[in-house]
Structures are given as structure tokens and as C-alpha cells.
Amino acid sequence: MTTRLEEELADAMRSLTEGLRPTDGLVARALRRHRRRRMRSVAAAGTFVALAVVAVAAVQPMYARLGTTPDEPTMLTVAAIVERAAAALPPDQIQHSLTTDTRDGYSRECWRDPITGDSRCRDLPSRPGAGDTEYWLRVRPDPSGGKVWSYTMVDHAARTWTTRDARFPDGGSSRELEDPRSLFERDELYMEGEESIDGNDTFMLGRQIVDPTGIFVTEHIWVETDSFRLVRSLIFDSEYRSQTDYKWLSRDNESLELLNPVVPAGYSRR
Amino acid sequence: MVRNYDALTELVAVRGPALLATAVLLTGNRAAGEDLLQAGLERMMRSWRRVDGDIEAYLRRTMYHLAVDSWRVRRRRPEILVPVDPPPTDDGFERFALREALIRALGELPVRQRAVLVLRYFEQLSETEAAEVLGCAVGTVKSNASRGLSRLRELTASWEDLSNGVSR
């Protein structure tokens, strides 16, 4: 059964669009925009295009199908993207993150070894009077069970340093640098769209969160469309914004050395 | 590496008018519609390696998602819906005016409702097919279609028979 409104609406839409034709050169214009976008990443893209093609071929059979016939196009669901993004987090590379936080006015640069749990962070002051501290956490098994966490903290403003150990049973304490895997373990992500970040195409996912104070905040997460590697996360509301950019370094002597505490000469111990 | 987009050129040459029609209905005007179609083509070029099968269906789906996503990201405009009165005379002009009013009212709807109405009444898709294109539940399509039609009915309430009239 069709109402007259529905009939008139269909007629109105057909009348409006009758005789429309795209202007000449539409595909060429799209191609020029596409190429300009790709130009920014051509150096990086050139090196991994072959890898991406292999990767796409490998995961193609796993792509979720929205349709039911073989001729229908494939498109990943948000759940499939989240699953691949979680699986793409490197278990054996050093995680590097740079966080800028408008509430406390700092930038924090961190490195984390996912194998040992060792981490290092430096707070970079972005305004006068803000702290300039650096701290290392080294996690080692406790012979009597649990773990020993050794903290080293350097205050560059005061030119002092301190260290202390703490023992925790397995699973104890929550002061370890957050594992980005947790970003993908919470539900309710939805697709915001696709964006280019530093020349890399990314899926942009989002979720709404009620923070502990009862305020609604929005979280966005970007993962590369080719590798599903986490690129960025952002939490914001009307007055607050905290963005973290992620990179991964090979776990070699050079990157592991970053996790060894270093106290500059001339600093006094507190 | 140069990719071959001949298939897209051929698609636009053959199906360009129909694709542009969908884009114009989704955006509300011709210029924005062509921008949406171009953005859909660009998005397909970016995803070309992952496109498999019916490229027109993929492009249409991409355009619908772009239209709906842009609505999601933008702060929604406050909706100011003004009822449209019919002209005083009852002749061929009334029908023309009614169509104009419906198109204007369609452009005022939230884009998800608009997308559902375009899919259902322009593309002539079933509720299930529309849900597949939008990547949502059939119930979402039903509720958006119902709300969209209800808004259109409110806006054109002055046209007698239109609100309650049933054909076929």
C-alpha cells in the first residue's frame, strides 16, 4: 500500500533529477584530488604498496560481507576493523606515544615495552611554571612472587632525582602506562568516516563515554586502512582535549636503551 | 604506481546521471550533489584495492555513508521547519508547487531520514536493501522512514488528501 504522500514524493524526486548530467571532467577532478592527497605520502606509500597488496589479498577472504551474493561489494564492519586493529598492535615493538593535554597544559612523550612492561615518560611543559619531569618504570619478577616495580623520577626544573621500589602481587596496582589494547576492548565504537593523517589513509572510529564525573566526552580512534595500525586517539568535550599519537619502534638495543634510567650529571638525589 | 580507473570513467559515462540524481537528493542541490559524487569517486580511488564486485553499488554505498557521516561529525543545525501552504488555485500549478514543497521539506530533514526516503522512494529499495546500504538495522530504516514521512506530512498538512490519502 502506498499513500499519496509517498507517490508525490517519488514523483517530486524524479522531476527534480530529470535530465541531470555530471559536468565534464568529474572523474579527472576526483583523480587530481586523489593524487594530491597521495603526493603527501608518496615516499612512504612507494615502499609499502607491494606489502599492502599482499596484505589485502591475504585478508580479503576474511572481509565481512554485507550482502549475500558474490557480486556485491565488500565493506568491513566496525567490529571487523576493531578486531584487526587489536590484532595489529605489535606485541614485540616499543610503543612510542605523544600526548597533548589541554586541561593540564602539558605534552607527554612516552615509550613502553609491551614484553616487560617497562616504560619511560617525559612531561614537556607547554606553559611557564608547568613541571618538567621524567620518569622511568622498570618491572621485574619478584623472587617471592608478584612483581617489583622500580621507579626513577628526574625533576629537570629542580635538577633533582629520586628512586624507589614497590612490590605488587600479580595483577596489582594500576600505575603502569595504559596498554593501547584497552582502546579496542570497550564496546560501542562506531564509524565516523575516513581521514588522511600525515598522508596515511585511516579509519576514524568514535564512541561516547560518560567519564567518572558524569560528563559526556567523545573519543575518536584512528587506525590505518591498510595495516589497521593504531595511529591516534583523542578524547574531548567542550572544554577539554587530549590527543595521543602512536608510533612503534623496532625492539633493538637502541630502543631498549631509551627505557634505561638516565640521570644527567650534576643533579642531586632527594 | 599508476592505477587504472577506466572502470570509473565508464561508470560515470553510463550511469553518471542516475548517480548524480541520488547525490543531489541526498545533499539538496546540484552543486553539493556533484561535490558528493566527486568525493565518492575520490574515496573509491583511495580504496580501489579493496573494491570488489559491483562498483556502482559500492559508489552508491560510499555516497550514502559520506552524506550520513558528514551529518554525524557536524553539529546539527537547529531545525526550523516551516509549514508550506498550497497556492490558492487548484490547477496544474498546485501539483508543481506541491512537489517543490516536498523537495524543500526533504532538504530540511536530518540526513539519515532523507537518505532512507531517497533509498526507499527514489531508488525503490526494500527496507532490507536500504538497511544493507546504510549498514544499519531494518528497524532503523523503518523508524527513520516513518519519522521522515511524518515530518513531510506535517509540513504539507495544508494539502487536503495528501496527509491521509491512500493510493493503490
Looking at residue A215, its pLDDT comes to: 60
Q: Please indicate whether, in this complex, the C-beta atoms of A6 and B52 are within 8 angstroms of each other.
A: no
Residues in chain A with pLDDT values less than 70: 1-2, 37-75, 103-105, 125-131, 168-178, 186-187, 210-216, 238-239
The pLDDT value given to residue A261: 92
What's residue B72's pLDDT?
41
Residue type, A251: R
Category of B99 on φ-ψ map: left (φ > 0), alpha (ψ -120 to 50) or beta = alpha
Measure Cα distances from B51 to A64, B43, B60, B61 in Å. 13, 11, 13, 12
Show the DSSP H helices in chain B as ranges.
6-27, 30-46, 55-73, 92-108, 111-117, 127-134, 138-155
Cβ-Cβ pairs closer than 8 A, A with B, add up to 157
Adjacent-strand bridge partners of A150: A138, A165
Residues of B (74-93) whose Cβ lies below 8 Å from A? none
For the segment B126-137, the average pLDDT, to the nearest whole number, is 85
pLDDT at B46: 81
Q: Which of A21, A192, A194 lies closest to B20 in CB terms?
A: A21
- With H, G, I as helix, E, B as strand and everything else as coil, classify residue A225: coil
Q: Give the ipTM.
A: 0.81
Question: A160-168 and A268-269: which strand pairing?
Answer: parallel
Q: Do B34 and A26 touch (CB under 8 A)?
A: yes
Instruction: Identify the closest residue of chain A to B13 by CA–CA distance.
Output: A22
A interface mutation test: which of B49, B69, B118, B160 has the most A CBs within 10 A? B49
3-state secondary structure of A222: strand
User: Within an 8 Å CB–CB cutoff, is residue B102 touching chain A?
Assistant: yes
Contact A30 B30 (CB under 8 A): no
Backbone angles phi, psi at A222, to 5 degrees: -115, 130
Higher pLDDT residue, B94 or B39?
A: B39
User: How many whole angstroms separate alpha carbon B5 and alpha carbon B59?
Assistant: 13
Give A60's DSSP letter: G
Report the residue from A22, A33, A49 with minimal CB separation from B12.
A22
pLDDT of residue B84: 46
> What's the whole-model pTM score?
0.46
The answer, for B52 touching chain A at a CB cutoff of 8 Å, is yes
pLDDT in tens, A164-192: 877 766 655 444 566 788 888 766 788 88
Tell if the CB–CB gap between A3 and B117 is shorter than 8 Å.
no
Task: Give A13's contacts in chain B (Cβ within 8 Å).
Answer: 25, 103, 106, 118, 121-122
Highest mean pLDDT: which of A71-85, A167-181, B97-111, B151-165? B97-111
In the numeric block, which cell numbers belong to residue A217? Answer: 566526552
Looking at residue A188, what is its pLDDT? 77
Per 3-state DSSP, chain A is made up of helix, strand and coil in percentages (nearest 5) of 25, 35, 40
pLDDT digits 0-9 by tens, B10-47 = 999 999 999 999 998 988 778 778 888 988 898 888 87
Contact call for A72 and B34, based on CB within 8 A:
no
Collect all residues of chain B within an 8 Å Cβ-Cβ radius of residue A33. Answer: 38, 42
B56 within 8 A of B93, measured Cβ to Cβ: no
